[in-house]
Amino acid sequence: MKLRMNMATLICIATLSTITSGCTSSSYGNSFAPVQTNQSSNQYTLKIYTGGFAGPEYAKKDLDVEAKKFIALHEEYVDYKIISSKFQLIPSGVTFVVEFIKES
């Protein structure tokens, strides 16, 4: 009985620690790549990898950081907007297509 209770406690602790610490996201050094179309030269794609229960909303935070870095390096751009996002389960991540907006 005591062993069964300890095993149940161990499983419960392992599950809770996985749930509470499992939200991560990162670009892993990837940078924006131009979208290969003739429609817009200001559209780029970037994949943000996620872990645990992190989803598209969590990945948007990292996208914002990376987009601001990109804008700082390219002075012709002043802002960006997300054109599309696609979630992929394995490997988990979100691929964003963004359009950088030039100063008018």
pLDDT digits (tens, 9 = 90+) for 41-73: 899 999 998 886 677 788 899 999 999 999 999
Structure tokens at 61: 């935070």
Query: By CB neighbour count within 10 A (0-12 exposed, 13-18 middle, 19+ buried), where does 85 fall?
Result: middle
Percent of all residues in the chain with a pLDDT value above 90, rounded to a whole number: 38
- How many whole angstroms separate alpha carbon 103 and alpha carbon 84? 22
Rounded average pLDDT over 92-99: 92
Model confidence at 89, pLDDT cuts 50, 70, 90, reads confident
37 vs 2, residue with greater confidence = 37
pLDDT in tens, 6-42: 766 666 565 544 444 455 555 566 778 888 766 678 9
User: Is there a contact between 93 and 38 (Cβ–Cβ < 8 Å)?
Assistant: no
Tokens of 24: 């991560």
| Average pLDDT value for the chain | 79
